[in-house]
Amino acid sequence: MLKHIRKTVAAAAVTTLLGAQAMAGELVINYDGSDPAPKEAFAMVIEKFEAANPDITVKWNLFDHEGYKTSIRNFLTADAPDVAAWYAGNRMAPFVNAGLFEDVSDVWAENGLDEAMASTAPSMTIDGKKWGVPYTYYQWGIYYRKDIFADKGIEVPTNWEEFLAACATLKEAGITPITIGTKYLWTAAGVFDYLNLRTNGYEVHNDLTAGKIAYTDERIVAVFEKWAELVEPGYFIEDHAAFSWQEALAPMVQGEAAMYVMGNFAVAPLREAGLTDDQLGFMQFPEITPGIPMAEEAPTDTFHIPANAKNKEDAKKFLAFLASAEIQTEVNKILGQLPANKNAEVADDPFITAGFELLSNAAGLAQFYDRDAPAEMAKAGMEGFQEFMIKPERRDEILKRLDKVQEKVYE
């Protein structure tokens, strides 16, 4: 028995030794795309990367999407991989400020990315340096049921009056105008962001999430007034706080609801549930204040090199590889999203081409409320949005509370 144990221990020791030696040409990548499409896309990238660099073997660890957000804090300090997936904007700020991400401005400079990825460059920059490489982004907007709109004789609304009129027509016909599932809060932030971007514009969005404007500011109050015009007549689905965003797709598929303010990742499950491209349409969030340049939401997913990475040289090769137009074309074809490299080709899909056109003409790209605002503010803010959507009469109380959080967070 003892002998057996000794043998196992010895074997374990040998394996760790071998493991340590194998590190030389090995590139460890931690990735959070556990859904089928991201998984497939990433497997393809690695296969191509290994083919192009035969001396490097890639070892990738696939994480659950939600669990990753907690794990990354541990592995960045304790056992850092060479490349790690994360998000742009303020979401990466804590790691950058704690010195856990490597400055990769040289990768950008050497590969001409400053020009090729100009649209996402600002969201990758902190203190004038680039801290990662984006590989995909996607548009937000309103996904709607074309057939229901046609049936009720509704034209695609381009301004707020038309939008409200469309909602009223749908409501009268017994169809819930807008479906949403706010159980996990962030969906409400999408609606808020768009109302804010359309009422006040891109600058106000940035100033608000940077803590330069109070929530009781009259411009933000105006956003909530617009929101109330949707909440008070009951244009949002009832009991939305009980549903996740996926559960809220069901009413739309069943034809009980007609619109959904969402990101492009909603297209895949909607198609899977049986909606054809004749039934499902995409429109830009309508104009509210006339003349304000239309900025859009386009969250960007990124890869970074941890400061504690062992194989930074190959990691930089990988980032450059991932940033190339050719690879971004292929990855985003599988993901059904948009390449961050402007020289990449866009997949032939009505929603992706619509998104590409939308974002190419955008006056500015917002990451998303919970990526632009610091975590604590985002949490309190999104809870406030959800509360407002259920109890709109508490508006002033909610905004005052958010001001209090803001004072504390940005001090």
Partner 1 sequence: MSVDSTIEQSYWKKNKLKIAPWLFLAPGLLMFLLYVIAPIFQSIWVSFYEWDGLSPKKFIGLANYQELIDDRDFYRSLKNNVIWLVLYMLAVPIGLFIALFLNQNVWGIRIYKSLFFFPFVISQVVVGLVFAWFYDPSNGILALIFSIWGGRPPAILADEDYVTYGIIAAGLWPQIAYCMILFLTGLNNVSPDQVEAGRLDGAKGWRMLWHVILPQLRPATFIAVVVTIIGALRSFDLVSIMTQGGPYGSSRVLAYYMYETALSEYGYRMGYGAAIAVVLFLIMMVYISFFLWRMYRQEKSGG
The residues of the shown chain that bind partner 1, judged by CB under 8 A, are 66, 69-70, 73, 76-77, 94-95, 97-98, 100, 182-185, 238-242, 247, 250, 370, 375-376, 378-379, 383-384, 386-387, 390, 401, 408
DSSP β-bridge partners for residue 86: 302
Residue-by-residue DSSP string for 239-293: TGGG--TTTTHHHHHTTSEEEEEEEGGGHHHHHHTT--TTTEEEEPPPBSSTT--
Q: Are 368 and 209 in contact (CB under 8 A)?
A: no
Query: Is the Cβ of residue 96 or residue 164 nearer to partner 1 in the bound state?
Result: 96
- How far apart are the C-alpha atoms of 142 and 145, rounded to whole Å? 10
How many C-alpha atoms does 61 have within 13 Å on its Cβ side? 18
- How far apart are the C-alpha atoms of 238 and 241, rounded to whole Å? 8
First to last CA, the chain: 63
- How far apart are the C-alpha atoms of 275 and 303, rounded to whole Å? 33
Residue-by-residue DSSP string for 333-359: HHHTSB-SSTTSPPPS-HHHHHHHHHH
Report residue 62 as tokens. Answer: 């696939």
Query: Is the Cβ of residue 184 or residue 265 nearer to partner 1 in the bound state?
Result: 184
Query: Is the Cβ of residue 246 or residue 361 nearer to partner 1 in the bound state?
Result: 246
Query: Is the Cβ of residue 39 or residue 379 nearer to partner 1 in the bound state?
Result: 379
Residues near 338 by beta carbon (within 8 Å), at least 6 away in sequence = 136, 137, 138, 139, 264, 298, 332, 346, 352, 355, 356, 359
Q: Are 227 and 147 in contact (CB under 8 A)?
A: no
Give the torsion through C-alpha atoms of 319, 325, 331, 333, to 10 deg.
170
Q: Which of 144, 137, 369 is nearest to 249 (CA)?
A: 144
